[in-house]
A and B are shown apart, each in its own frame.
Chain A
Amino acid sequence: MTDNHMITTIYDNWKGYQENVAAAIAPLTAEQLALQAAPHLHSIGEIVRHIIWARIGWFIFTLNEDKASIQDLSHFVEEPLPTFTAAQLVHGLGATWRMISDALARWSDDDLKQTFPDTDEEGTEFQVSRAWVIWHLLEHDLHHGGEVSLTLGMHGLQAQDM
């Protein structure tokens, strides 16, 4: 883990943010997890499932990280995707955060620069570095966390504090 103050500030507070998301969804019922901002948009539960899915997808399928630590989360990436309970979603956030945190503690600055091939929806291959994947997961967590917050708030439920 780098000792740079800026980067540890980012990692520490990102951890706190995603814990706030977990705390906000932990008490929700199945009916509340199904609430949406509009009929054509993802529900609260589906947005959180998507956050977990993205973490697993980028780490396991793009960066080829060891999947042993998240073996019990295979149902988050296998079709058809089931509907998850709040407890399962909180577990998924916690387990995938540990996967990210363990990697950040292990990767050197040179590791973060290493690139990996990936393919976009049109079939075009591109290269991503570990650093870009970390940025993207931070962006993905916070952007979709905002969507979770807005959806909770529009239905009068307690949203995560920032």
Chain B
Amino acid sequence: MTDNHMITTIYDNWKGYQEKVAAAIAPLTAEQLTLRAAPHQWSVGRLVEHMVGARVWWIIERLGEDGAAVQSLKDWDREDEVLPLTAAELVAGLDLTWQMIANALARWSATDMEQVFTYTHYNGEQQQFDRAWVIYHLLEHDLHHGGEVSLTLGAHGLEAPDI
């Protein structure tokens, strides 16, 4: 774990942000989790599934971390299927995957963050990234889609995460 004040400030508050998202969805009913901003857009529940699934995909599938504890959550982000997950399951998914990220951040050194990985897509295209980029991307992904969750909840008169 880094002792850089700026980085620890970001990590600590990222944790707080995703806890606010979890707190906002925790009381939602199955019906409220299906609410969307528009018919062609994702529901509140689907957005959170996407956030959880992306964390597993990047950390386990692309960085090769041990995924025993979260392997089943990878399928939460299937494009062809929306899982009927409850609010409690979504909150548990956020918590479990946050623990996965936090454990990795505690273990990785500054040198580890610069290690480059190559992922080959199904069409043969290769993508290169390092651990630092993956961490930034997951931070960005959480906050961007957290904003979408917030707006969708607000559009339907429900309490949204406060920043």
Q: Which residues of A contact B (CB under 8 A)?
A: 2, 4-7, 9-10, 13-14, 17, 37-38, 41, 109, 112-113, 129, 131-132, 134-136, 138-140, 142-147, 149-151, 153-155, 162
Q: Which residues on the A side are within 8 Å of B5 (C-beta)? A: 109, 112-113, 129, 131
Closest A residue to B141 by CB, please name it. Answer: A162
Identify 13 new A-B residue pairs, CB closer than 8 A, beyond the known A4-B7, A143-B163, A150-B152: A4-B4, A6-B2, A6-B4, A7-B7, A109-B4, A109-B5, A131-B6, A143-B143, A145-B147, A146-B148, A147-B147, A147-B150, A150-B41
Given contacts A37-B151, A131-B6, A135-B9, A9 and B144 within 8 Å (CB-CB): no
Q: Which residues on the A side are within 8 Å of B2 (C-beta)? A: 4, 6
Scoring B residues 125 to 143 as 1 if CB is less than 8 Å from chain A, else 0, what string do you get? 0000010110111011101
- Given the complex of chains A and B, what is the CA–CA distance between A71 and B154 in angstroms? 34
Contact of B144 among A129, A136, A154, A162 (CB under 8 A): A162
B102 touches A (CB below 8 Å): no
Closest B residue to A36 by CB, please name it. Answer: B155
Say whether A140 contacts B163, CB under 8 Å: yes
B146 touches A (CB below 8 Å): yes
B10 touches A (CB below 8 Å): yes
The minimal Cβ–Cβ distance linking A126 to chain B, given in whole angstroms, is 15
- Given the complex of chains A and B, what is the CA–CA distance between A38 and B154 in angstroms? 8
Shortest beta-carbon contacts, A-B, top 7? A146-B147, A142-B143, A154-B38, A146-B144, A143-B147, A38-B155, A9-B132
B62 touches A (CB below 8 Å): no
Say whether B148 contacts A150, CB under 8 Å: yes
The minimal Cβ–Cβ distance linking B105 to chain A, given in whole angstroms, is 9
